[in-house]
Amino acid sequence: MSGKHDRQRLLANVALFSACTDKELDRLAKHAEIVDFRAGDVLMKEGEPGHEFYAIIDGEVGVTSGGETLAKLGPGAYVGEQALLDPGPRTATVTALGDTQTVLLSSREFYAAIDDVPGLSRKLLAGMARRLRQATAHPPVT
């Protein structure tokens, strides 16, 4: 499943991109790639600079911070959205709990997509704001 159409369909199932039109999803898909992880692979490590966003297509990841489990996330969830805007240190470690397939969007490719479709940034920023609001309103999921 590596064609642009497949990536577009997969991105359409991610809440962050739910307000995007087919044209906007097509532009994002053009810049995204499918990445597979095996159980135990680390997608991102707490404290390291971040440049990638992952949408989970299949499988499950564990999210930890300070050695404490914060969440287990499956298909439709995403991690690393802050890295699309700021390459600062990662706030958590994300590890594949089993074979996991993701759609990867790097910050460089994200900005290329924004350049292609300027209205896309407003929709994505609104999605990120919703995620931040939810994260601060609810205690961590274990």
CATH number of the domain that residue 110 is part of: 2.60.120.10
Host domain of residue 33? 4-137
**Other CB atoms within 10 A of residue 141 CB:** 10
* pLDDT tens digits along 91-139: 899 999 999 999 998 888 878 877 877 777 777 777 777 767 776 775 5
Note whether residue 57 is domain-resident.
yes
Averaged pLDDT for residues 58-76: 93
Give the length of the chain: 142
**Cα-to-chain-centroid distance, residue 93:** 14
Averaged pLDDT for residues 38-52: 94
Helix (H) or strand (E) holding 35: strand 33-37
Note whether residue 102 is domain-resident.
yes
Note whether residue 66 is domain-resident.
yes
Note whether residue 11 is domain-resident.
yes
Query: How many domains does the structure of the chain reveal?
Result: 1
> Distance (Å, rounded) from C-alpha 20 to C-alpha 18?
6
pTM of the full predicted structure? 0.80
> Distance (Å, rounded) from C-alpha 69 to C-alpha 73?
11
- Higher-confidence position of 2 and 6: 6
The lowest-confidence range among 8-17, 37-46, 48-57, 120-129 is 120-129
Note whether residue 142 is domain-resident.
no
